[in-house]
Amino acid sequence: MTDEESRPQRTPCSPRAPGRPGRLDDCRVIELPRIQDARGNLSFVEGGRHIPFDIRRVYYLYDVPGGESRGGHAHRRVQQLIIAMSGSFAVVLDDGSRRRTVRLCRSFFGLYIPTMVWRELVDFSSGAVCAVLASEFYDGSDYYRDYQEFRRAASTLRGKKRSR
């Protein structure tokens, strides 16, 4: 397991193809449109245009006590965009063999995560609000919540990729 703190490549928003399942390299920070105005700035996200999926669900995390972490799972079918609407936090991304940490602190950046990537949200600042745009409705059976089970599935996926 390697553990690297990386500065991910920032890409302007684009309707690029969905990230490949389980690929850390396909996790990316997307720069969202920003309408700057003396009255306050405005950003927006359009499903299928700025991110490579249609948005079926939005949820948000708030009032996270100091020292708590969220996430700790991977998804079989759900792709997500994670935005720090307020404050900051770090997202630890893990493909079962490598790790990468991305810190989010501006509301015009969103972290895109394809399917089959384990994520943990840690180190929330006080007052942080984390919005998550998801490609599917909530379905508990979409989750890997057991890390060892996820690692086995991710390893099988990598094996399939190699044999192609």
User: DSSP letter at 25?
Assistant: G
Beta bridge partners of 60: 131
Question: How long is the chain?
Answer: 164
Whole-angstrom Cα Rg for the chain: 16
Nearer to ligand TYD, 64 or 154 (CB): 64
Stretch that binds ligand TYD, among 22-30, 36-44, 55-63, 151-159 (CB under 6 A): 55-63
Residue 73 annotated as catalytic: yes
Q: Which of 73, 76, 103, 106 is catalytic?
A: 73
Nearer to ligand TYD, 13 or 74 (CB): 74
Question: Token pair 């949820």 is at which residue?
Answer: 59
Nearer to ligand TYD, 40 or 140 (CB): 140
Residues 66 to 125: which contact ligand TYD by CB under 6 A?
70-71, 73
Two structure tokens written together for 128: 């942080």
Two structure tokens written together for 63: 């009032």
Closest CA to 52 of 113, 130, 132, 137: 113
- Summarize as ranges the residues that interact with ligand TYD (CB under 6 A): 57, 59, 61, 70-71, 73, 138
Residues acting as catalytic residues: 73
